Chain A
Amino acid sequence: MGVKGVGEAVTIAAAPAVINAVVDALARYGVRDVDMPASPQRIWQAISSASTGSSAATGPSTRTSKEALA
């Protein structure tokens, strides 16, 4: 039918924008993605595991912001 959502378009972008900002801020530690919600413990874990190299943090990320949301 080619139907597209319009009314929620701005709302949908907000969460990935925030998460992308968090990921960008943590890029220097090698963090490539953060699962929502970005709680303090999640951020700490992301930094810890990225800096010990135990996550998939090495190499360029192929994830889109939509996948990081899932």
Chain B
Amino acid sequence: VIPAAFEYRRAGSLADAISLLGECGEDAKLLAGGHSLLPLMKLRLAAPPVIIDIGRLSELSYVRESGDRVSIGALTRHRDLEISEVLHAHVPLLAHVAGQVGDPQVRHRGTIGGSIAHGDPASDLPAACLALGATFTAAGPAGERRIDATDFFEGFLETALGPDEILTEISVPKTDGAGWSFQKFNRRAQDWAIVGVAAIAGPRPGVALVNMGSVPLRATAVEEALAGGASAAEAAAHAADGLDPPEDLNASPEYRQHLSRVLVRRALEEAGVS
């Protein structure tokens, strides 16, 4: 319940945060909303020697239009996504998914950048970003680089971010008018999804899965079946192809595979993929 001792540093600006990361190296963890990191520290599953608090970098909290995309600052809280008029108009899937994360307390503290950088396969927002074809911006001492969501999640709680990099922005294509769906199956409203599915129809279709492997996943077998002309029901039958979902108290791997097929079918039908 009480975390191990750590050194606390507060970043006053993005440049300050990057230089603190360079100074502290692998020892440091970034703290944003703290709703993934702090529980791990309290359980002593994580014991980073240095915490760099970026929570006050208000310049990284925004949702704004940028041509045919929407740009979201990494420190934008789930609640701000949930009520964003820009998202409701142009990327309603993301606003809806943000409103399904945890409970109101979590949504008022947790940030989209924190959720993505944590890379938890059971989180909702990484799957939404995968389905939408998001691009992430990472800033480090060598400047900025962009990483496709598809290339970002490398292993269990491991991402393509370098130890000296900060996730600064999430960019998603506008999906004006396209059908979408988010299916989250759990036993209590505030729980992690036992299995979740994010789907977007339209010119850039995408389907992604929550809690079906060690990383947030695109449902590539479903996407390929749809591209080949399969119906929603036919494509959904491929939801668990090649996947090795985790086992826990809520579900066996076989049950998760079953859930993924049912939820993908519901998602495709709700999104209007025929």
Contacts and interface: CB of A to CB of B under 8 A. Distances in A.
Interface of A: 39-41, 44-45
B197 to A, nearest CB: 16
Nearest to A39: B187
Interface string B38-71: 0000000000000000000000000000000000
A45 B252 CA distance: 10
B105 interface: no
Interface residues of B, number: 8
A51 to B, nearest CB: 13
A45 B185 CA distance: 17
B146 interface: no
Nearest to A45: B255
Contacts of A39: 187, 250
Interface of B: 185, 187, 194, 250-252, 255, 258
B187 A40 contact: yes
A65 B255 CA distance: 26
A44 B187 contact: no
13 contacts: A39-B187, A39-B250, A40-B185, A40-B187, A40-B194, A40-B255, A41-B250, A41-B251, A41-B252, A41-B255, A44-B255, A44-B258, A45-B255
A41 B187 CA distance: 11
A41 B262 CA distance: 14
Nearest to B255: A41
B167 to A, nearest CB: 35
A39 B187 CA distance: 8
A61 to B, nearest CB: 25
Contacts of A40: 185, 187, 194, 255
Contacts of A44: 255, 258
Q: Which of B187, B250, B252, B255 has the most CB of A within 10 A?
A: B255
Contacts of A45: 255
Contacts of B251: 41
8 A-B pairs with least C-beta separation = A41-B255, A41-B251, A44-B255, A44-B258, A41-B252, A41-B250, A40-B187, A39-B187
B134 to A, nearest CB: 31
